Structure 1
């Protein structure tokens, strides 16, 4: 058959288009973008999880949990969506990933501990009188501990025509979907539920599905790598590698693996900072591993926060502290999870699951202020605010969480950002969760490099970030500015600033300290942080002036009872190197 020139041209064009299309499909990376409990959230024996993946075609693929492939009958596949059924008696919480065509996806953490809450859709929220987005028909009941929570929640649901749709069993908290259609009906029913003898509190959720966990503040014009020098970041990495290596002076120290829970949505695994965390990360025993849903862009809050802990070195814009310890480290697990987009309630549910899965350090780079809260200049705060009714419910929920933590998991610490509203971190009528006073909660403020040409130990080396919240409840300050991740290898991302990024510096350090001495209590960890701290700010003789007390002042007891020590009365600045040094010294004293 004769083929004309035009026909050949059209055929070549068609083949080229087919090649381009096929190539584009082949090049699309395999990623897990969403993972959530689905089906009956109250069912514990068989738990179902719904996944949304990208880069998955119709060919054969494999789903692996904890290094073991799942049987085909446990998986339903429909295009880019998967539904997985797990028998709780046969499975344990752990990393799950997909494999296809010699590609492996990002690993996500699957928790089988059962605390899950439902997020509202766009059609199930409304604006309240304060102009804040609030859930219309979803509330959570904190049941008095003298009652069986599950039974009582079901009784109340039957009584009021509601449905139990979510739960946090360790906190005796159950989520109900109410038979209401507007906020007036909701508030009337919430009032009736709150008057039930068995109900300790009702939590009304005020959250948009895609609201940022904590707002960022503008970066300084010349933010660079000197920021972390103010906390002796590289000195700490060098100390850990040198002193804990087999050839080091303390080579007989057996470090222990530590799990860190990061309450964030997702991480961008396309960024060079995270590109080598795909698939079975734990095949290498001593390396840091990251488990998270995949983000669409590298400049998100979760990617930047996680990068402070685990970004690869010399690959992208960030360098993770724990990743720098890989050569001699015990193998840190960084688990990024937020349960669902159900706001503060979901943050708490995720935290409960992670603690029950063995997490020792929780990173909470988030917080909220009550409507009407004022900053240090007397101006009203207008970001990340919640109504008084919502704040009361959150306060009760967080109180239950910390009571449970103290009773069931006294070795766990929570590291929380002080906030970026130029306000007070410790006033419970204004700020949550940083206002809670408990040994297990560490509150972190933010500082930045000053223009002073002084040694790093000098208090003038840094200044407080103007936006950072302050007061006596802040335990310590750390560098607030960090370079974010980028999609281009070797390229520095834009600077991100806020107490959100100071927080993982402290969380990572605490994890490293625990890896050296796992028996350290939260009170001992705080003591080591404060004793090792450098200083920031002016001396106030314990009397704050002009609302400028950045942290609780350093006490004589934190300086070997030297009443005339120059640090006394100053605020505390993170010294990562000295904290590790004191941790090793404490081991030697025990011997």
Structure 2
């Protein structure tokens, strides 16, 4: 007996007489329950209202009958939840509740947990009829812009004054950065650009931020396009050996709970700026429902995706993929029961491009995140690679890059002032270009101790070399380079799948090198939470293996991967063989130095 009903979730190809009906609605056996999932959660209504906040939650598989919405393990009272089909509206009091994971429970089913932040940074994404193509052929917002108000002016009051003057409306905000989003009375790009010029000339306005991204789901991050030299049959375990992944897991599991001299650890929150994770994959299915990191386990909070091989699932999987039923292994989940418990929060605020990435980052930092993973970045139109050819992916116009640069500068100034212990780990990019040239790429070009930049390498063809040999791994052809890159890590991993134990397709890019570094930084900080960002960078480079040739500090050319290792990073030994070479992540050695640092960093 079969029943048919429409579902927004997956459909699979069939070659049966009732194919059209199956494609339209999907088939479920009678009595079988559709998985319960949270696919969307974000602020709705008045985004500037802080006392009474409204959130819209879109659920899949929510049947008729009783259900519960749990926030941080406590069921919300019925008066705070309104249902309209599969959309729930949550009315929350900021003073009575706090940020935390929210999930659904109906009968024996529980959904994926999603992080709900009650902080004030919220921005709107444009709808499909609110975007247009500019002269560079890029999708840009027509009537939504953000203004960065000079710090010596009250931001909201000034934003309201500007809105009244120009017939606009204040619709979003990142208050800690004095950034406010305006809906302009513009019907096309000509009208928008005129208003942007006038707003930019106001003495109280530091910058106008024009968003260039798709209206809904746009470019996710920095995964490189497959190239002829990609080897899809190459196992990621071999790739990760170049960074001593398993050695690091083994060291943490044995050294931290050692009976002779156990190391006290501190729980840690990690923020991953991505859209969603597929909780139907065995890599992530153990994270459905409630999760208590105090039980020395990894917790993962994210919206649910419709496919297991998306960018967010792959990035999050390097940190948190379950070791038991799936085909992958996450670094932090490998530390369960030995570590203090890690919370991995996958969050992106809305689909409003770079502005939303920064809004989400601000909220997460205010919610206690210590390490941020930014597997994304953008190049300016006209940026050239090491061969002199123009970069053709993830590019933005000059006007957009100017606004983004000011926004990112304000974010890092705020971090330095209010949260100096937070570390941001950013991908170097996959344009075969220069990561540190501010006129070419953001955010990796920023010079700040709180930003670590990660390049990508892959396993060399010479299988007979020991892991410590500089030739064990080689620079990935597409990885961005130069002095601003702090360290390289494995760029190739396998995507998640829907079948237990199945190995997914190989994905490569600096997006996936970045969470390798994020994971080890989180583990180091769990061992010694007193480490400051500059000390974390120093320990990563002191512990690093090498990669590539010795460049003797010559000007950067097409083969330099990272800033060269200097004598102070090798005990001031001017004759050390590593001097002048690029740095390759050594995860076990980094943990060893973190343990040793406990006696030195007080």
TM-score, normalization by structure 2: 0.94
Of the three residues 202, 206, 214, the one matched with 1:200 is 206
Is structure 2 residue 600 aligned with structure 1 residue 580? no
> Unaligned 5+ residue runs, structure 2?
6-25
Map 1:219-298 onto structure 2 (within 5 A): 219-224=230-235, 225-247=237-259, 249-251=260-262, 253-282=263-292, 285-298=295-308
Aligned to 1:5: none
Name the SS of the counterpart of 2:32 in structure 1. Answer: helix
Is structure 2 residue 501 aligned with structure 1 residue 495? no
Aligned to 2:13: none
Change (3 A) 1:470 1:17: closer
State whether residues 58 and 79 of structure 1, in contact with CA within 8 Å, keep that contact through their aligned partners in structure 2.
no
Cα distance in 2 for partners of 1:166, 1:545 equals 42
Aligned to 2:333: 323
Is structure 2 residue 452 aligned with structure 1 residue 446? no
Is structure 2 residue 550 aligned with structure 1 residue 533? no
Aligned to 1:369: 379
State whether residues 223 and 481 of structure 1, in contact with CA within 8 Å, keep that contact through their aligned partners in structure 2.
no
Cα distance in 1 for partners of 2:289, 2:405 equals 39
Cα distance in 1 for partners of 2:184, 2:475 equals 46
Is structure 2 residue 69 aligned with structure 1 residue 59? no
Aligned to 2:217: 210
Aligned residues: 575
State whether residues 527 and 595 of structure 2, in contact with CA within 8 Å, keep that contact through their aligned partners in structure 1.
yes
Cα distance in 2 for partners of 1:132, 1:21 equals 40
Aligned to 1:162: 168
Per the TM alignment, residue 283 of structure 1 is displaced from its structure 2 partner at its CA by: 6.9
Aligned to 2:16: none
Aligned to 1:26: 32
Cα distance in 1 for partners of 2:522, 2:222 equals 25
Per the TM alignment, residue 588 of structure 1 is displaced from its structure 2 partner at its CA by: 3.7
Per the TM alignment, residue 494 of structure 1 is displaced from its structure 2 partner at its CA by: 0.5
Moved more, 277-286 or 474-483: 277-286
Deviations 1:25-49 (A, max 9, x none): 7331000000010010000001100
Name the SS of the counterpart of 1:578 in structure 2. Answer: helix
Cα distance in 1 for partners of 2:514, 2:383 equals 23
Aligned to 2:41: 35
Deviations 1:228-274 (A, max 9, x none): 00000011001111011152x431x2100000000000000000000
Cα distance in 2 for partners of 1:420, 1:457 equals 25
State whether residues 212 and 301 of structure 1, in contact with CA within 8 Å, keep that contact through their aligned partners in structure 2.
no
Per the TM alignment, residue 327 of structure 1 is displaced from its structure 2 partner at its CA by: 1.8
Cα distance in 2 for partners of 1:18, 1:186 equals 48
Change (3 A) 1:72 1:407: same
Aligned to 2:480: 469
Per the TM alignment, residue 21 of structure 1 is displaced from its structure 2 partner at its CA by: 7.1
> Unaligned 5+ residue runs, structure 1?
1-14
Map 1:347-386 onto structure 2 (within 5 A): 347-386=357-396
Aligned to 2:18: none
Q: Which has the larger radius of gyration?
A: 1
Moved more, 167-176 or 19-28: 19-28
Per the TM alignment, residue 284 of structure 1 is displaced from its structure 2 partner at its CA by: 5.6
Deviations 1:371-422 (A, max 9, x none): 0000000000111000000000000000000000000000000000000010
Aligned to 2:496: 485
Per the TM alignment, residue 300 of structure 1 is displaced from its structure 2 partner at its CA by: 0.1
